[in-house]
Structure 1
Amino acid sequence: MPSAQQLFSAMVQTLYSAHFLNNLSIYSVQAVVISTEIAHNLGLSQLNATLFNAAVRIAECLGIHKIKNHPPTPKTEDGWEERVEREVGRRVWCQMLIQDHFAIPFTDTYSISPMHFSTGRPLNADDYDLADAPPETPTISSYVRVLVDLAALMPGLVDGLGPMHRRKSFREQYEHILRVDQKMRAIVKAIPPFMLRPDPIKEAHIPWLTIARRSLAITAAEKIIMIHRLFLFRSFHDPTYVHSRRTCVAAAMTILREHETIVEDDDLSIWTHTAFAITAAVILCFEVNTVMETPDRRSVPMYRTAVLAARDRLSSRNGDVLAQRGVALINAIFIAEQSGSSAPEMNRLKPIDFNRVFSNFSTLSKASAIPSPDEMTPGKLSTGTPETIDAPDVGELQLAWNQEEIDFDQWFNGIFNNYTGNQL
C-alpha cells in the first residue's frame, strides 16, 4: 500500500497535471476536502489551506453553494441520478463549511460567508435509498449533520468580537463569548441521544457508531475550548474569567478520556484526535502550573497523569508529524516547570514561564529531528523526554512580545503555524 504521504503527493500532482484551476470539476473539490484528513498529520496544513480556498472558489463556480431543495424526484433512472447529484453536492458543501468554519479560531477569518450560500444540510439518509429519515434515526450522515451545526456557530463567534482593527472592549467580548457558549450548549442538548451516550444495541448493528460518538465528544469539547479561547490564558490568572477556566479544563479532560479509549480499542484515528489531544494536554499543563497552595491542588496528580498518558500516546504515532510536534511542546512545558522550581520550593508550583517554554520547544523540535514532508517515513521521527534532554538556555530564542502580553492564540498558533509554514 502506498503511504499517506505518497497518496497526498499523487493527489496534488494529479490536480495540477489536470489543470484543476482551469478545468473545474467537483472531483477536484472532493479530493481536496478528503485530503484534509491527513494533511495536518503530514505537516502540510498550509498547503491544504491554500488548496482548500481554491476548492471553495471552484465549488462556487460550479454552483454547489446554491443547490435548491426541489420536491422529491420521480422514481425513474433520471430522477434517481438527479437526487444523487444533489445529495453529493450537499455533502461536499457541508464538509467545506465544517472545515472552513472550524478553522476560524486559528485565523480570525473565514472564506465562506453564511450570507452567501443557500445549500442546505445533507439529508439524514443512507446511500442505498437516500430516503430522508427522522433525526433520531442513525444514518451515515448523522455525524456530519451535527458537526455542521457546531461549525455554524463559529462565524458569529468571530464577528461578534468586533472588526479586527477595532475590537470591542474585553467586557463586551466576554459577554458575547458567554452567549455563544449558551448557544453551543443548546446545540449539544439537541444532538440525537445515540450520538451522546453509549447504546450497545445500536452499536452492535452499526459498526461506525462507536467511533462517531467518541469523535463527536472530542470535537464538541474542543469547540467549547475554541469559544473561550480568547480568554483562556487570562482565565488562569484573572478570577473574572473563572468560568472559562473551569469549562476548558473540563473539556480538556473529556478530550483526553475519549482519546485514551480510542487508542486502547485500536479504533479508527483521524487528524482531529491528535490535534485536539495536544490542545487538551496544553490546557491541563496550564492548570497544573497555575494551581498554587489551594484546595484545587488535589487534582494536580490526576491532571499530570492525564498529560503524561497523552504524551505517551502521541509519541507512539511515529509517522504523525503533528503528534511529534505536540510531544515536543508538552516536554518543553515540563522542562520549564522543573527548571523553574528551586529546591526549597519544590512543593510549590509556579506559573508557566513562556520564555523558557519557547526556548525549550525550539531546541526539542531540532533534537527530535522532525523532518520535511519528503522525509516522513515511519521510524524516522525520534522523541525526547524531559528525563533525557537538558533544558536549554532561555536566551536561545528571542521573543517578539513580553511574557505578560502573550495570549493563548499567539502562543499556540505561533508554534504550530510557524512550523507548518517553514515546511513548505
Structure 2
Amino acid sequence: MPHPTTAAHVSFLQTLLPSLDHIWKLVDYHEVYLLWYHCCYHGPTLRSELETVIAEQDDKTTLDINGLDLQWLGLLFSVMAGSVTCTSERRLRDWGFSKSEAVKLSIQWYKATITSLNHGEWTSDHTLYSVQAITTLTMSAHALGRSTELSVLLAAALKIAQGLGLDKLEYDVALEQIDSAASADQRHLVLKRELGRKLWSQLCVQDWMSLPFAGNHNINPAHFTTTRPSSRDHLTMEPLPATFPTYISYGNYLFEIAKLVVRHHEAMLQSTTPFTKYQHVLDYDTQMRDLATKGIPRYFHVMEPIDALWPEWVHWARSSLTVCFAHKIIMIHRAYIRQSFTNPVYSMTRITCTAAAKTILNEAKKAKDVNGPIIWIDKAFCVAAAIILCLDIFHRSESDPELAIHKNLVLECIEQLRKFDNSVIAVRGANLLTEILNERDRATVGLGWPPQNINIAAIAQSISTLDESQVIPGLETKLSADLFPPQVGFSNQYLFRDLLSTVNELNTSTQIVSDAVSAGQDREMPLAKAPVGIDVRDVAEAHLQTLVNPVLERNRMLLAKGIYCKREIADVAKIEVLRYNHRIPTDRPGLREKNTHFAVDASALEKLT
C-alpha cells in the first residue's frame, strides 16, 4: 500500500497531465527535434512503453498514473518539460497551449520530474529511468533558472550510473555483432548497452563542459572503460556507415570537444609559469581549430551540401556546432581575456576572442528557422559572446570604427534575447548587457578615458531589480546563485571580479569584500578587527553600496583602514543590512588576535580619490 504522502502527490501529479493527444505531441516533438542533441533515452522504446500503459487503461483520452513506475513517470515529465520549453510560441499555439500556460507547465513538469523520482525512491532504488530523467532535464532546467539544482541532480545521477555499471561498457564483439540473422533478444541487449553508453557520454559532456566554470571535474577520463556509442539503425541495431548521421552523431562529436576541454585544463594545471601556461592556451587553440576543421564529420561541415536522405536536425546541429566551437575557443583563452586588453603579451587572446564572439553573434542572426528547436545553450553562448564585445567596447574610443560594429552586434543580441522572455538566461543576459552598455555610456561623459573600471556594483544591483520586474511569473529569477549555467563558463565571481572589474585598481578592502561575497555563507571567515568585530559578509552589501552612493563616491571606505572606518561601516551596516543587524557585535576596544582578525596595518592600502 503506498504511503499516504505518496498517494497525495500522485493525485497532484495526475492534475498536471494534459490529454493523451497533447502527451503524444510532446513526446513525438522531443524525439524528432531534441533527441539528437542529448540522446538520453531511446525514442521508440519510450513510445512503446507509453503505448503499453495506454493499452491497459479503459480511458484512452487521459493517462492514468496510478500504479505506474514513478521513475518512468519522471522520465515522461522530463521529456514533456523539454518539449514545451524548447519549442516555438507558434507551435505551442498549434498544440493548444497559451504562452502563459506553457511557462507554468514547463516549471511544473520540471518539478514533477523530481517529485516523481523522489517518491519512486530513486536514490535507493537505482534504475536507468532516473538517470535518463535527470539528464533529459538539461533541456529545460537551465532556461527555467534551475541550473544550480540540476548540478546537484546530475552529481547524484552520476553515482547511480556508476552503480549501474555505465562506466564499464567496453565493446564486446561476441555480444554486439548484429546482422539480419540476429535474434530479438540479442538486438535488445545491444540496444540496452548502447543506451548505457549514450547516457554515460552525456554525463561526461555535462561534467567536462562545466570545467572552466567549476575549475574541476567529477569524471576522470582515465577512470572509465565505456566506449563511444556506435552508429546503428535505432530500430534494428544493425550497423550503419560512419558517413551517415544518426542520433549518436552529434553527441559523439561533442564528446570529443569536451575531452579536449579536459586535456587543456590538465595542461594548464601542470604549468608553473605564465609563459608555459599561455603556450598551452595557444597550443589548444590550434587543436580545437583542427578538431573543428579536420576532425569534423563531413555531414556537419557547413560547406558540405545537405543530403536529402539525412535527418532534418543536421542543419540545426551545424549551426549549434559553429557556435559551440567559437565558445570553446573563448573558454581556452578564458584566463587571459581581461589581461589581453591591457597587456600586449596576450594580445592574441583579445583578437581571438573578439573574432569568436562575432562568429557566435553572426551565426545567431542567420539562424532563422522558425520551426527549429529553441535550445538554451545557443542563447547562453550569445550572452557570453556579447559580454566579450562589451569588454572590447570599453577599450575603444568613440572614433574607432570597430566600436560601432561591435556595439551594433551587442544591441542586436539584446533585441533577440528580449524575444525570449520565457527564458531566465535570455532575460538575465539582456538585462546584463543593457546595463553594461549603459555603464559605458556613463563612462564616456566622465572625467577621463578610458574609464578606470566598470561600476560592477551598480550593474549587479540593476540586474537584480530588473530580474524581479521583467520575467514572466513562475520562473526562477533570484540572484542567490550564479547568473548563468555552468556551461557558459562565466560564474558570478569570474564575471564581476575577474572579467568586468579591474582587479589591480581595486583597493585591498574592496578585494576583501569581493572574496567574502564569493566565499558563501558556509565558509568560515575571519572577523574584522577591533573595536568592532564584524563578519565581512555581513557588511559586504553595505560596503558595495558606498561605492555607488553619489554622496560617498569620492570617499570610499576601507575595511582595513583602522578604527574610524570600522565604526562607520558598522553604523552603515546596522542601517542598511537590517536582516543582519543582530549579527554585528562589538568587541573590546584595542583587541588584537593574530590569525583570527584582519591586519589593521593600512600602509599597503591606497585611498581612492
What's the TM-score, normalizing by structure 2? Answer: 0.59
Match of residue 404 from structure 1:
503
Indicate whether 1:353 and 2:453 are aligned: yes
Distance 1:406 1:328 in 2: 26
Indicate whether 1:210 and 2:210 are aligned: no
Match of residue 22 from structure 1:
124
Match of residue 445 from structure 2:
342
| Deviations 1:17-54, CA, capped at 9 Å, x for gaps | 11111011111111111101121111111100000000
Contact 1:90–1:120 (8 Å) recurs in 2: yes
Select 1:310's aligned residue among 406, 413, 427.
413
Instruction: Please show how residues 82-231 of structure 1 align to structure 2 within 5 Å.
Output: 82-162=189-269, 168-188=272-292, 189-202=294-307, 205-231=310-336
Select 1:364's aligned residue among 451, 463, 467.
463
Distance 1:199 1:81 in 2: 35
Contact 1:321–1:370 (8 Å) recurs in 2: no
Distance 1:336 1:63 in 2: 52
| Residues 115, 275 of structure 1: alpha-carbon distance in 2 compared, 3 angstrom cutoff | same
Deviation at 1:95, TM superposition (A): 0.8
Distance 1:406 1:16 in 2: 49
| Deviations 1:127-176, CA, capped at 9 Å, x for gaps | 1333333433222221111100000012222222227xxx7322121112
Indicate whether 1:49 and 2:151 are aligned: yes
Letter in 1 for 2:290: A
Distance 1:22 1:109 in 2: 27
Match of residue 326 from structure 1:
429
Contact 2:143–2:423 (8 Å) recurs in 1: yes
| Residues 99, 246 of structure 1: alpha-carbon distance in 2 compared, 3 angstrom cutoff | same
Deviation at 1:184, TM superposition (A): 1.2
Match of residue 404 from structure 2:
301
| Deviations 1:68-104, CA, capped at 9 Å, x for gaps | 2011345001110111011101111111111110000
Distance 1:373 1:26 in 2: 34
Select 1:65's aligned residue among 167, 171, 181.
167
- 3-state DSSP class of the match of 1:221? helix
Instruction: Please show how residues 24-43 of structure 1 align to structure 2 within 5 Å.
Output: 24-43=126-145
Contact 1:123–1:130 (8 Å) recurs in 2: no
Contact 2:341–2:392 (8 Å) recurs in 1: yes
Letter in 1 for 2:462: T
1 or 2 for the larger relative contact order (CA 8 Å, sep ≥6)? Answer: 1
Select 1:9's aligned residue among 89, 111, 130.
111
| Residues 191, 246 of structure 1: alpha-carbon distance in 2 compared, 3 angstrom cutoff | same
Distance 2:324 2:519 in 1: 20
| Residues 334, 31 of structure 1: alpha-carbon distance in 2 compared, 3 angstrom cutoff | same
Letter in 2 for 1:168: T
Distance 2:139 2:213 in 1: 17
Distance 1:255 1:402 in 2: 24
Contact 2:245–2:310 (8 Å) recurs in 1: no
Letter in 2 for 1:223: K
Match of residue 390 from structure 2:
285
Deviation at 1:325, TM superposition (A): 0.8
Letter in 2 for 1:148: F
Contact 1:73–1:80 (8 Å) recurs in 2: no
| Residues 304, 293 of structure 1: alpha-carbon distance in 2 compared, 3 angstrom cutoff | closer
185-194 or 315-324, larger mean C-alpha shift: 185-194
Distance 2:330 2:163 in 1: 35
| Residues 95, 351 of structure 1: alpha-carbon distance in 2 compared, 3 angstrom cutoff | farther
Instruction: Give the total of aligned pairs.
Output: 384
Deviation at 1:111, TM superposition (A): 0.6
Contact 2:169–2:193 (8 Å) recurs in 1: yes
Distance 1:162 1:238 in 2: 22
| Residues 66, 370 of structure 1: alpha-carbon distance in 2 compared, 3 angstrom cutoff | farther
Deviation at 1:360, TM superposition (A): 2.2
| Deviations 1:363-390, CA, capped at 9 Å, x for gaps | 232134268997229xxxxxxxxxxxxx
Deviation at 1:126, TM superposition (A): 3.6
Letter in 1 for 2:402: S
Match of residue 243 from structure 1:
348
| Residues 332, 365 of structure 1: alpha-carbon distance in 2 compared, 3 angstrom cutoff | same
| Deviations 1:323-357, CA, capped at 9 Å, x for gaps | 11111110111111011112797xxx735833x13
Letter in 1 for 2:339: R
| Residues 352, 84 of structure 1: alpha-carbon distance in 2 compared, 3 angstrom cutoff | farther
Distance 1:186 1:200 in 2: 21
| Residues 7, 263 of structure 1: alpha-carbon distance in 2 compared, 3 angstrom cutoff | farther
Letter in 2 for 1:31: A
Deviation at 1:404, TM superposition (A): 2.7
Match of residue 590 from structure 2:
none
% identity of equivalent residues: 28
Distance 1:63 1:415 in 2: 40
25-34 or 179-188, larger mean C-alpha shift: 179-188
Letter in 1 for 2:327: E
- 3-state DSSP class of the match of 1:64? coil
- 3-state DSSP class of the match of 1:340? helix
Larger-Rg structure: 2
Contact 2:428–2:463 (8 Å) recurs in 1: no
Give the aligned CA root-mean-square deviation in angstroms: 3.0
